[in-house]
Amino acid sequence: MLSEYREVFLEELEEQLQLMDEEILKLEQEEDCSQVVQSLFRAAHTLKGSSAAMGYDVMKNLTHEMEQLLDLVRSGKRGVTGKLIDRLFYALDHLKLLKLDIVDGGGGTGIDISVCVRQLRSYASGEETDGETAAIVNGEAETETKAGTGAETGEFGGMEGFKAQEPDFAKPPLPLNVRLKAGECLDQGLNVHWIFVRIAESCAIKGARAFVIQSGLAEWGEVLFASPEMEELPEQNGETADIAFLHAGSGRSPGDLQTLVSDMMDVAEARVEAVSSEEFELVQPQLSAALPLEPAMSAIQPVRNEERGAGTSAKGKTQTIRVSVERLEHLMNLVGELVIDQTRIHEVERVQRRRFNDPSVEELGHISDHLSRIIGDLQESVMKTRMLPIEQLFNRFPRMIRDLSRDLGKEIELVIEGKDTELDRTLIEEIADPLIHLIRNALDHGIEKPEIRQSKGKPAKGTLTIRAAHEDNQVVIYVIDDGAGIDALKMRNSAIGKGVITEEEAAYLSERESVELIFRPGFSTAAVVSDVSGRGVGMDIVKSHIEKLNGLIEIDTAVGQGTCFKIKLPLTLAIIEGLLVKLTGQTYIIPMSNIAEIVRVTPEDIKTVRGQSVILLRNQVIPVAWIHEYFRLPKPEGHKPYISLVIVGSAEKRLAMVVDELIGNQEIVIKSLGSYIGKVPGIAGGTILGDGSVALIMEIAGLIGKIGGKGAVSQGG
């Protein structure tokens, strides 16, 4: 059962942790916290339920503690303080560690949560003196194992929620199949009981003991369900272990069973509760929240809106389902095949029309037209299913910035705009690292320390704005700070000092170009390498990463006022706008994002400078590349009066590529050539054109590196 639901559990866990992250941050900012606390409480409760169902006890225990504490906060018994927030974050970090452990295949048992639990408890108990918490809680822990007597521990102390007299065993949630089975047993007139057993702390191998007990129970009926799993029981001495069995049998009253079980070896305590059919019905709605309804549904599970809390966002109200990315990818491929077949049908129809004059051919034409419209819509819809709001990524920033600004001793106000902007999910993943780098840079180098800011007449609190928006057919992300800005002169001198450029080169650089030196490899303006930025990953990596995504990055800066980084990205990675060109009869595609302009020149315009063909375009010398030579294609015959040149650029390098013919531009779906062919220099991949043939997509940055290496000059150089 575990592996089947593990995936769904992890998804839910991720979602709930994200929610907690946001909500805890809100606690810090908002005046009225009751809603936020409520939603946190619900999240902790949900996780407690599902982790218990999955048998992840450590997580269950931690979430239980969080739930207890939040319950007190909710009822106003404990206040919302900075310490509470720290404690909750600390607990959240542990939950994240547990999650990683579970993802790695561990049972979430390798993480020590004792400190964290102690902290939560000490806050809950009202003991807020920081240093001595450990001592106090240790004492508390001891009383607890002996079924504590103090009113305080009774209220929120024990892991399993002990009461002073009668041990209170928690009923584990039941999966649907067990509930159905139990229902059947009741219908057959069998007695169904919850049998709770506490194995004594002196027992050395609790798992084995539990197994013996289970076999014993099986003799008097059937064990429908046991929780936790036998393997999950703690092995250490000095701890009791609780197990709950759901037992169906006939002829024995709860009292009989209780006596029988209590007499077994190593059983410290036992309790038997009769179960009525109503219980299963009552439990059901709550449980369907924690577990998928049936195995077949596990891949597509309704997102439980009501569980996400009213406070999250209005977006949570829309009806959604979870679909695995694989399925979407598959769908996308199928649509791709449809498109190709459709163009074929169209072709056949044209041939038929020429040959026959028949109403059925007319009909075929209508069908073909209709089909192409529908397939077009289908393609667009499938494409949209891959889009996600950038919220997914942006939600990670508040916590990160909170921690960073603390470490750096800076005060930052974060403004996030355009969370709803949608883009391809792979793009969201890919853009995360560059964006985080930019934010770290802005915090570290951009925004000044409060004292400095005040001495310059700025508010002590710096503002960092992260904004996403759709502009034209692109997504634009801004990272704006109101910090020190980038000083062009300083950049130039620093670049000369580091040997990135020569003094000669520096003299030619405009202000803008000087600022853009930041993107050169081996350049970092930080005088002090801090932990935050300057870990050897420079802005050049950011830039190349963004260019790899067919994106662009621009800087706008004013000394003393701040810096704005603008990242432009295509809506999706899979589809690009390309220019179709012909080289010796074969179609190639040049990504539009790399094209600066297209010019037509006469053969006389192409000059030779030291063996390199160049053209002079608006006083700029641009090397000319005979792409045919590089691709080892025969050069076209004959002499044409004009030569078409496509001027392409990557970073500041320009190259004029000679092409035989320009066909036009169109949107293309990028496909990999597969690992058998592997990486081909100068080729980024392939695409299937409307006529079903394969066309290769040029990789401009690579081509410039290869061909232009000897001759490509920088702009204005």
Partner 1 sequence: MQASGQEQYVEFGIEQEQYAIRIEDIHEIIKIQDITAIPNVKDYVKGVINLRGRIVPVISLRCFFGSEEVPFTKSSRIVVIHHQEEAVGIIVDRVNKVTTFSDIQPPPERVGGVQGSFFTGIGLAESRLVGILRLDEVLLHE
Binding span for partner 1 by CB under 8 A among 117-125, 520-528, 534-542, 672-680: 672-680
The answer to whether residue 682 forms part of the interface with partner 1 (CB under 8 A) is yes
Task: Check binding of 671 to partner 1 (CB under 8 A).
Answer: yes
Which are the contacts of 359, defined by CB distance < 8 A and separation ≥ 6?
none
Burial of 462 (0-12, 13-18, 19+ CB in 10 A): buried
What's the min distance (Å) between Cβ of 632 and partner 1?
6
- The minimum distance between CB 682 and partner 1, in angstroms, equals 7
Query: CA torsion, points 402, 406, 409, 415, in degrees to nearest 10?
Result: 0
Q: Which stretch binds partner 1 (CB under 8 A): 22-30, 406-414, 593-601, 676-684?
A: 676-684
Q: What residues contact 224, with CB distance under 8 A and at least 6 apart?
A: 178, 181, 182, 185, 192, 246, 247, 248
To partner 1, the closest distance from the beta carbon of 572 in angstroms equals: 18
Measured from the CB of residue 685, what is the shortest distance to partner 1 in angstroms? 8
Q: Which is nearer to partner 1, 3 or 676 (CB)?
A: 676
Q: Which is nearer to partner 1, 321 or 694 (CB)?
A: 694
* Cβ count within 10 A of residue 632: 7
By CB under 8 A, the count of residues binding partner 1 is 27
Nearer to partner 1, 506 or 688 (CB): 688
DSSP 611-624: TEEEEEETTEEEEE
675 lies in the binding site for partner 1 (CB under 8 A)? yes
Cα 98 from Cα 624, distance rounded (Å): 58
Comparison of 690 and 716: residue with beta carbon closer to partner 1 = 690
Residue among 303 and 688 whose Cβ is closer to partner 1: 688
Q: Is 67 a catalytic residue?
A: yes
Cα torsion through 469, 472, 475, 479, rounded to 10: -60
Nearest distance in Å: CB 208, partner 1:
44
Contacts with partner 1 in 580-619 (CB under 8 A)?
A: 586
Place of tokens 């679909």: 323
In the complex, the smallest distance separating the C-beta of residue 669 from partner 1, rounded to whole angstroms, is 9
Residue 462 host element (H or E): strand 462-471
Site for partner 1 in 641-660 (CB under 8 A): none
Give, as one character, the DSSP assignment of residue 605. Answer: G
Crossing angle (nearest 10°) for helices 34-54 and 2-29: 160
For residues 301-360, which are near partner 1 according to CB under 8 A?
333, 336-337, 340
Q: Which is nearer to partner 1, 211 or 630 (CB)?
A: 630
The answer to whether 470 is a known catalytic residue is no
| Shortest CB 672 distance to partner 1, Å | 7
Comparison of 515 and 696: residue with beta carbon closer to partner 1: 696
In the annotation, is 441 catalytic? yes
Burial 277-292 (b: 16+ CB within 10 A, else e): eebbeeeeeebebbbb
Binding mask 456-495 for partner 1 (x = CB under 8 A): ----------------------------------------
Catalytic residue (one of 191, 441, 550, 594)? 441
294 vs 629 by CB, closer to partner 1: 629
CA 272 – CA 282 distance, rounded (Å): 20
Q: How far is the CB of 70 from partner 1 (least distance, A)?
A: 48
Nearer residue to partner 1 within complex by CB, 397 or 630? 630
Rg (CA), the chain: 33
696 binds partner 1 (CB under 8 A): yes
Q: Are strands 620-625 and 653-659 parallel, antiparallel or unpaired?
A: parallel
Choose which of 693, 709, 710, 717 interacts with partner 1 (CB under 8 A).
693
Q: Give the distance from CA 612 to its chain's centroid.
A: 48
Question: Which H/E stretch holds residue 196?
Answer: strand 191-199
| β 694-698/586-591 pair status | parallel
How far apart are CB 706 and partner 1 at their closest, in Å? Answer: 10
From the list 248, 622, 695, 712, which residue makes contact with partner 1 (rule: CB under 8 A)?
695
Q: Of all helices (H) and strands (E), which one includes residue 333?
A: helix 325-355
How far lies 560's CA from each of 446, 452, 463, 533, 573, in Å? 10, 11, 14, 21, 37
Binder to partner 1 among 626, 631, 651, 702 (CB under 8 A)?
A: 631
Indicate whether 575 belongs to the interface with partner 1 (CB under 8 A): no
Nearest to 217 by CA among 204, 229, 226: 226
Selecting among 67, 349, 430, 513, the annotated active-site residue is 67
- Specify the stretch interacting with partner 1 by CB under 8 A; choose among 41-49, 126-134, 466-474, 625-633: 625-633
What is the SS3 assignment for 524-578? CCCCCCCCCCCCCCCHHHHHHHHHHCCCEEEEEEECCCEEEEEEEEECCCCEEEE
Give the alpha-carbon dihedral of 323, 324, 328, 330, to 10 degrees.
-130
Binding mask 241-280 for partner 1 (x = CB under 8 A): ----------------------------------------
Query: Where do contacts with partner 1 occur on this chain (CB under 8 A)?
Result: 333, 336-337, 340, 586, 630-633, 671-677, 680-683, 686, 688, 692-696
Active site residues per annotation: 45, 67, 441
